[in-house]
Structure 1
Amino acid sequence: MTSSQKILLLLLTLALLVISGWHPYDRLTWLLEVIPVLIVMPLLILSHERFPLTTLLYLGITLHAAVLMLGGAYTYARVPLGFDLQQWFDLGRNPYDKIGHFFQGFVPAIACREILLRGHHVQGKRMLAFLVVSVVLAISASYELIEWGAALALGQGADEFLGTQGDPWDTQSDMFCALVGAISALLILTPLHDRQLARLHR
């Protein structure tokens, strides 16, 4: 990916961040949801020359950021796309947060795979897949612990951030969506990712 393309993605992400935060449904919820974007963006800027990522990963991160910012702007339980999906599939709740957790597995799986391969931390394909899925599940579990901490700290004020919508199995289904996302990324994107990794080393 060229420098101009990286700048374009950065400007797009910044624009979406401003739009999502212009008049969110709940300011604290918006901040809690977009914190990963606020952390990752500076890291990518600082590392883009020393450790450039594959185009696939840059695009994935941008898309994941868009999912987070949309959820932050409306809160996950109120995203219009989720209501459309709820109606189309006759669901009992707005499922947009499950999209967010799917991407919480899908994009980090590619990021983890890239770091492990480029650092020569693992060689075997099966061990690579096992470690990628394990790291994704660890990330997902950590996020659920953060949500639990927010619930304890904020009480009722955490309802919008948690977005459980009365589902007693929300935590388990969130982690399952991340697992499905990680496995999907490995099954669908591994050949493309390998080709892009090979081009990085030329």
Structure 2
Amino acid sequence: MQSDSRLRLDLTFLMVFLLVVVVSGFSPRSRVDWALENLLVLLLVGTLIAVYRRFRLSVMSITLVFAFLCVHELGAHYTYSLVPYDRWSSAWLGLSFDRAAGAHRNHYDRLVHLSYGLLLAYPVREVLWRLTPLRGLWLFFVTLNIILSTSAVYELVEWIGGAYLGEDTGKAFVGAQNDPWDAQKDMAIAVFGALGSLLLVSLRGATEKASRPTACHKNTNQRG
């Protein structure tokens, strides 16, 4: 029964996400950029489906993956540098985030890179926990480095795409917005997000460990 319930939950996540992809594909700002942004998404989702019978992520991990992919799809529709979040916040809340922060660029791409580290560090950690003997500080360190290395791979993909896609499509795909340090900042923000996520997991683990009754307390309670 529990297995059937979990299967229904995972299918719901998959169906909702496929709907999000279809909606994001309606009149995107750049069809080529939308397709390119979804190549890695297709690879990730395809891999999760292919290994599903042998390796199933926890509910927490699959929820975090789903949340990140939805954030990504919004950027794929508009292109990262043109998501009109500031216009929406001004219209709905009467508040301009960019003006309040003194920002001179669209920061949605920064949010996506932060979300990459913040939301995907936990699933990466879970995979390492279940498939390798890594524990403690080594588990923390390797998870952090996987987030950094995959962020670097994405920046290399952006570089290659920007060099060969033509000026307009290349600019939309890279989304540097004339910032010469855009790639470095994106990687740093992803690592910062992952660091925050891993510290929260470590703190939660330490809190749960401290709250468990010791063997001495158990024996005392049993004698009472």
The answer for the alignment partner of 2:18 in structure 1 is 14
> Structure 1 residue 37: deviation in Å?
1.8
Question: Higher mean Cα deviation, 95-104 or 84-93?
Answer: 84-93
User: Residue 161 of structure 2: SS of its match in structure 1?
Assistant: helix
**Structure 2: 5+ residue runs without aligned partners?**
90-96, 209-224
User: Residue 104 of structure 2: SS of its match in structure 1?
Assistant: coil
1:122 equivalent among 134, 156, 165: 134
* TM-score (normalised: structure 2): 0.80
Name the CA distance, whole Å, in 2 between partners of 1:170 and 1:82.
20
Structure 1 runs of 4+ with >6 Å offset: none
> Judging changes above 3 Å, is the alpha-carbon distance between structure 1 residues 24 and 186 closer, same or farther for their aligned structure 2 residues?
same
Comparing both chains, which one has the higher relative contact order based on Cα–Cα distances under 8 Å and sequence gaps of 6 or more?
1
User: Residue 166 of structure 1: SS of its match in structure 2?
Assistant: coil
Name the CA distance, whole Å, in 1 between partners of 2:144 and 2:86.
27
> Structure 1 residue 40: deviation in Å?
1.6
The answer for the alignment partner of 2:176 in structure 1 is 164
> Structure 1 residue 180: deviation in Å?
0.8
The letter for the 2-side match of 1:50 is R
The letter for the 2-side match of 1:96 is Y
Name the CA distance, whole Å, in 2 between partners of 1:143 and 1:118.
26
Residues 30-179 of structure 1 aligned to structure 2 (within 5 Å): 30-81=34-85, 84=89, 85-123=97-135, 125-156=136-167, 157-179=169-191
> Structure 1 residue 112: deviation in Å?
2.0
Name the CA distance, whole Å, in 1 between partners of 2:46 and 2:150.
20
The answer for the alignment partner of 1:199 in structure 2 is none
User: Residue 121 of structure 1: SS of its match in structure 2?
Assistant: coil
Residues 124-177 of structure 1: CA deviation (Å, up to 9, x unaligned): x11111111111110111111111111111241300011111111111110111
The letter for the 2-side match of 1:15 is L
User: Residue 109 of structure 1: SS of its match in structure 2?
Assistant: helix
The answer for the alignment partner of 2:221 in structure 1 is none
User: Residue 2 of structure 1: SS of its match in structure 2?
Assistant: helix
**For the pair shown, which has the larger CA radius of gyration, 1 or 2?**
2
Preserved contact between residue 75 and residue 109 of structure 2 (Cα < 8 Å): yes
Preserved contact between residue 82 and residue 95 of structure 1 (Cα < 8 Å): no
Preserved contact between residue 109 and residue 136 of structure 1 (Cα < 8 Å): yes
* TM-score (normalised: structure 1): 0.88
> Structure 1 residue 71: deviation in Å?
0.3
> Judging changes above 3 Å, is the alpha-carbon distance between structure 1 residues 164 and 178 closer, same or farther for their aligned structure 2 residues?
same
The answer for the alignment partner of 1:198 in structure 2 is none
Sequence identity (%): 33
> Structure 1 residue 82: deviation in Å?
5.1
Preserved contact between residue 115 and residue 193 of structure 2 (Cα < 8 Å): yes
Preserved contact between residue 114 and residue 189 of structure 2 (Cα < 8 Å): yes
Residues 1-24 of structure 1: CA deviation (Å, up to 9, x unaligned): 711111111111001000000110
Name the CA distance, whole Å, in 2 between partners of 1:15 and 1:37.
14
